């Protein structure tokens, strides 16, 4: 299946509605030997530098919600191409897992069915 653009921030195999918010951080993973000396100096042994973490928010209709929830299942890994200029030019290919999936009903459709329900879906991606 060809890669589709998700608001040009994250590219994946599954189509997802546009991203409302996107926030990423790069964090080092230190060994358990990393610590402060008695003099207060930090002694670090970095196991992996620049590990990608991201928080993503979609605003979508009830119909689009199933597409998001089937594409990003908590605990599963996904192959992505993400906007992260410090890692790539400007996108980087990563494998990440979805560590948290949170769905919030923002606007409930009216009783006549004239309005659609809107959902805010948040999830956290952590590079494997």
- DSSP code string of 40-75: S-EE--EEEEEEEEEEEEEEEEHHHHHHHHHHS-TT
Strand order across the 19-30 sheet: 4-6, 10-12, 77-83, 91-107, 118-127, 46-61, 19-30
Rg (CA), the chain: 18
Q: Which fold has domain 4-127?
A: Elongation Factor Tu (Ef-tu); domain 3 (2.40.30)
Determine the Cα–Cα distance for residues 101 and 123; give it in Å rounded to an integer. Answer: 4
Residue 122 forms beta bridges with which residues? 57, 102
Instruction: State the pLDDT at residue 13.
Output: 56
Please identify which residue in the block is written with the tokens 């605003």: 59
Q: What is the pLDDT along the chain (128 residues), one digit of tens a residue?
A: 223 333 445 665 555 677 888 899 999 999 998 888 889 998 999 999 999 999 999 888 888 888 788 778 888 888 888 888 887 778 888 889 988 889 999 888 777 766 788 899 999 999 99
- Specify the DSSP class assigned to residue 108: P
Residue ranges of domains in the chain: 4-127
């Amino acid at each position: 299946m060809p890669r589709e653009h998700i608001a040009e921030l994250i590219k994946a195999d599954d189509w997802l509605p546009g991203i409302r918010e996107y926030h990423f951080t790069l964090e080092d993973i230190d060994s358990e030997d990393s610590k402060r000396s008695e003099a207060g100096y930090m002694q670090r042994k970095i196991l992996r530098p620049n590990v990608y973490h991201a928080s993503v928010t979609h605003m979508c209709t009830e119909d689009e919600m199933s597409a998001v929830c089937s594409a990003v299942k908590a605990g599963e890994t996904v192959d992505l191409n993400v906007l992260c200029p410090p890692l790539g030019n400007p996108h980087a290919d990563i494998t990440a897992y979805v560590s948290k999936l949170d769905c919030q009903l923002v606007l409930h459709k009216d009783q006549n069915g004239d309005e659609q329900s809107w959902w805010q879906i948040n999830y956290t991606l952590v590079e494997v």
